[in-house]
């Protein structure tokens, strides 16, 4: 093991972790927005909108992320759309994550009693107010562990975007192996980086779920 060499790679890996967290964080944020809007829309709108959202969920959940990435990155140029890989990565992760978050929130809504919104209307609140002050706080509270778990899942999936040359940890690793042939060193760096990022995340998630279950 060439420690000196590994030390020299640390800045690269730090920036790789930064890229991973930035891409993952942006995707989680956007996917949460999509999930929130779609789950609200699913509550009551025209059957058409519901059908569209449900089809979106099925398509996003039943296709691999990597194909979604390839379609955006390699496929779109065929119709004249050239996007930077980081943007493709965020888009694909958002596309997939939005569907998962919609599912999480939908489950939260369906666990709520219908009388909650009726009680709210009876108090003279508008539909928007009912969602804002009565339904969403309860859904959010109830589904926080599931939401956090989905966010962690999305961050883990971020490793896949290395497939379209986004310079995150996995890409830096394969690239390094290809250039320097120092497989040991790069695999070790990859493992350390991933353990540093994902293990604390996972521990925090477990704590959260544990606390929720006992409340």
Partner 1 sequence: MTELFPSSVEWFSVITLLWPGLLNTLWIAAMSLILSLAGGVLYAVASRSRFALLRLAMRLWLEAMRAIPLLVWLFLVFFGLPLWAGIDFSGSTAAILVFGLWGSTEAGEVFRGALRAFPEAQWEAAACLGLSERQIYRHVVIPLLIRQTVPPLMNVATRLIKTTSLTILISVVELTKAGQQIIERDDNALFIYGLLFILYFLICYPLSYCSGILERRWQQG
Q: Taking the CA of residue 41 as centre, how many other CA atoms within 13 Å lie in the half-sphere pointing to its CB?
A: 16
77 binds partner 1 (CB under 8 A): yes
27 binds partner 1 (CB under 8 A): no
174 binds partner 1 (CB under 8 A): yes
- For 166, the token pair is 């986004």
* Cα–Cα distance list, 195 to 148, 191, 209 (Å): 18, 6, 20
86 binds partner 1 (CB under 8 A): no
User: Applying CB under 8 A, which of residues 7, 48, 78, 179 lies at the interface with partner 1?
Assistant: 78
- For 126, the token pair is 């508008």
204 binds partner 1 (CB under 8 A): no
Q: At what angle do helices 136-157 and 3-43 cross, to 10 degrees?
A: 150
| Closest CB to partner 1 among residues 33, 187 | 187
By rule CB under 8 A, what string of x and - marks binding of each residue 128-157 to partner 1? ----------------------------xx
Query: How far apart (Å, rounded) are the C-alpha atoms in residues 93 and 101?
Result: 12
Buried/exposed 199-213: b ≥16 CB within 10 Å, e otherwise: eeeeeebeeeeeeee
* Cα–Cα distance list, 166 to 29, 69, 163 (Å): 19, 11, 7
- Compute the Cα dihedral for 100, 102, 105, 107 and give only its sign: negative
Q: Name the minimum Å distance from CB 17 to partner 1.
A: 13
| Closest CB to partner 1 among residues 56, 121 | 56
Strand, coil or helix: 80? coil
Q: Name the minimum Å distance from CB 84 to partner 1.
A: 17
Strand, coil or helix: 91? helix
User: Applying CB under 8 A, which of residues 202, 207, 210, 211 lies at the interface with partner 1?
Assistant: 202
By rule CB under 8 A, what string of x and - marks binding of each residue 39-68 to partner 1? -------------------xx-xxxxxxxx
Q: Name the minimum Å distance from CB 34 to partner 1.
A: 19
| Closest CB to partner 1 among residues 120, 172 | 172
Q: Which residues bind partner 1 (CB under 8 A)?
A: 58-59, 61-68, 70-71, 74-80, 156-157, 159-160, 162-163, 170, 173-174, 177, 183-184, 187, 190-191, 194-195, 198-199, 201-202, 206
């Amino acid at each position: 093991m060439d420690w000196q060499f590994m030390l020299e790679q640390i800045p690269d890996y730090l920036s790789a972790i930064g890229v991973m967290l930035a891409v993952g964080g942006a995707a989680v944020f956007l996917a949460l927005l999509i999930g929130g809007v779609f789950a609200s829309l699913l509550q009551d709108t025209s059957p058409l909108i519901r059908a569209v959202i449900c089809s979106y969920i099925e398509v996003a959940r039943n296709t691999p992320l990597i194909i979604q990435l390839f379609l955006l990155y390699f496929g779109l140029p065929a119709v004249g759309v050239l996007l930077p890989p980081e943007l493709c990565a965020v888009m694909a992760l958002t596309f997939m994550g939005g569907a998962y978050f919609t599912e999480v929130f939908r489950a939260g809504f369906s666990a709520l009693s219908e009388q909650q919104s009726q009680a709210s209307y009876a108090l003279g609140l508008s539909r928007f107010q009912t969602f804002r002050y009565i339904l969403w706080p309860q859904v959010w509270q109830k589904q926080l562990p599931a939401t956090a778990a989905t966010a962690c899942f999305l961050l883990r999936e971020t490793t896949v975007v290395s497939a379209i040359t986004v310079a995150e940890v996995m890409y830096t690793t394969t690239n390094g192996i290809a250039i320097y042939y120092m497989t040991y060193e790069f695999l070790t760096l990859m493992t350390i980086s991933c353990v540093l990022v994902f293990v604390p995340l996972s521990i925090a998630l477990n704590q959260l779920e544990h606390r929720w279950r006992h409340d």
